[in-house]
Structure formats: C-alpha cells, structure tokens
Amino acid sequence: MFAKLLVPTDFAAWSDAALELLDPLRDLGAEEAILLHVLDPGPLFPWSEMLCGAATRVEERARQALEERRPRIEGAGLRVDARVVQGPPVETIIRCASEEQAHLILMGSRRRSFLKQAVLGSVSENVIRHAPVPVLLSKWSADEPPAADRSAFAHVLFPTDFSPCAEKAFQCLTALAGAGMREATIIHVQDIRLLASAPDDHEGSEEGLNIRYLEQVVDMDRLVAAERELESLGVTTRVMVREGLPFREILRAAAEEQVTAILLGSHGKSSVAEILLGSVSAEVIRQARVPVLVIRRDPEEPE
C-alpha cells in the first residue's frame, strides 16, 4: 500500500518522533524510505560568497545527522536512501515526492497552542495542501512525547461527510484492517453552520415527507453500510452522528474514544467555503493529539 516513503526531517524532536511510525507502516507494506533534509538557501543568499565555507560545513553536518538516523529506519526493516537537497522546503519536498513516485510522505509535526494556531503556513500544512500523495503526520509536544508503539493504527477515528475524498479515505481505512487495526470509530458531523444557513423550505415537506429527515436516513444508511463492511473484516466498529462544528466534534470524539490515529480526507463537500473559514482537515491536523493520515483529493476532482 505504502511501499515507498518520503521522510523529510529537520532533525528536531518532532521530526524524529515520526520515525516511531515506521513499524506500523511496515505492516502496510513499506519497503523503502527516502530520508530527506532540505537546506533552504534563501536566508543565506545575500551572504552567499562570505558564507560559502559555512554552508559547506552545514551540509556536511546534515549528512552526518542523516546517517545517525539510518540505523533506526533499517531497524524497522526498510531500505534507506539519505539525501541532502537545497531549495525551498515545501516545493522541494513536493518535487521529490513526485519525481521519486513516493506512496506516502511521513512527517513530524508539533501540536500548537491556541495562539500559535493562528500562525498559518507551516511546512507540514503546506505540504499537505500540495502533496500528490497521502501525508502521515505524527504529533509531538515537549510535555508529552510519543512512545514507540507498533499499534499506532489499533483504533482509528474516521470522519466522513460522504464526499468523494472521504470515500477514497474509506478505501484506505479498509486496508488498515490488515495492518493491525482492531477498532474503528466512524463519525459524521452535521455542520451547524450549514443547517443555520439552509433555506426556509429546507425543513419543509414534499408530498408529506420531511426533507431533512430523509437526508438523515440516507446518511445513516451509508454509515451502517460502512460499519458492516469493517465488521466483516474483523474490525470492531462504532458509528457516531453529531451536530456542531465538525473539527471540534471530531477532536472531542478522538479524546473520548481514546483513538490511536485519525484518518481523513483533505477536502470535504464544502471545500471552497472551508478555505475561507479554516478547513476542517486543517483544524484537525493542527490540534490533534494523535497521528493524522490525510488522503488527498483526486487531481481531476473539481474544487
């Protein structure tokens, strides 16, 4: 499923924390990892002639740091290709993923405080926006470092709005059934913002039938069908339906159910509106306390 991994690192603690997910990824078919460090020449450009020697020493130290991490990856049973590349970090990671035909980008990410969440544009967030492949983010905080755990996908929370991207993510969820996933919680959140902005006749009736009621019945049918499919694969599954702000309900469910990972699509039905408000996936990624696997929308799918 994810045979070839691209693992960008800046050698910080949150980058190293991502390596703890190598063992469960091996159970998903991982065979090879490209360990990548990107040197951003931008800050050094005005002083490039003066700092040429210093830049060379920085590159040498980066190569040494990559080699220090090689045994950890090889210990997980993966082949390793360590590289130091110069360029803008986000663009370089995206280009490398495309050129190498990687199946997954594995990155570390810090959990940020409420105030820091207002600062957009982190490398991991921008990689997720533009990556051609799924992205798996580990989550790290100084007061709660992750422990090595082969059961990272033991209990997965799967939010769905039944969009094409969510359906694609569900296909990945079924694949996790063969890689150690024992439990799954499926959650569908009816967005109170959309309910509040619905036209007055939305809750009216047509030939005696309540339209909103029918929509809820259809949603439950889809959820039950997904539940049955996972149960047939030996996965204990729970279905949840809630009303509220989707990202808050998803994070609340993750805490209540004590899940070990979250799997979600990068775009929902209202992706354009979500860009203006702060997308559901972006807020979940920023605030989640467990690893988040983000499945990209198909390129041909319209925004």
Q: Are 162 and 219 in contact (CB under 8 A)?
A: yes
Whole-number pLDDT of residue 53: 63
Q: Which two tokens stand for residue 59?
A: 């590159």
Whole-number pLDDT of residue 148: 46
Amino acid found at 168: K
Whole-number pLDDT of residue 38: 94
Q: Which two tokens stand for residue 196?
A: 């509040």
Q: Rounded distance, CA 40 to CA 46, Å?
A: 13
Find the radius of gyration of the CA atoms of the chain: 21
Whole-number pLDDT of residue 197: 53
Whole-number pLDDT of residue 179: 80
Q: Which two tokens stand for residue 139?
A: 């989550």
Which domains does the chain show, CATH number per domain?
A: 4-140 (3.40.50.620), 155-295 (3.40.50.620)
β-strands 135-140, 155-159 pairing: unpaired
The residues of the chain scoring below 70 in pLDDT are 42-54, 111-121, 140-150, 193-218, 268-278, 298-303
pLDDT digits (tens, 9 = 90+) for 55-110: 778 889 999 999 999 999 999 999 999 999 999 999 999 999 999 999 999 998 87
Tokens 């799954």 correspond to 184
Whole-number pLDDT of residue 113: 45
Whole-number pLDDT of residue 118: 40
pTM recorded for the entire structure:
0.83
Give me the phi and psi of 80, to 5 degrees please: -125, 135
Return all residues near 47 (Cβ < 8 A) that are at least 6 apart.
none
Whole-number pLDDT of residue 111: 62
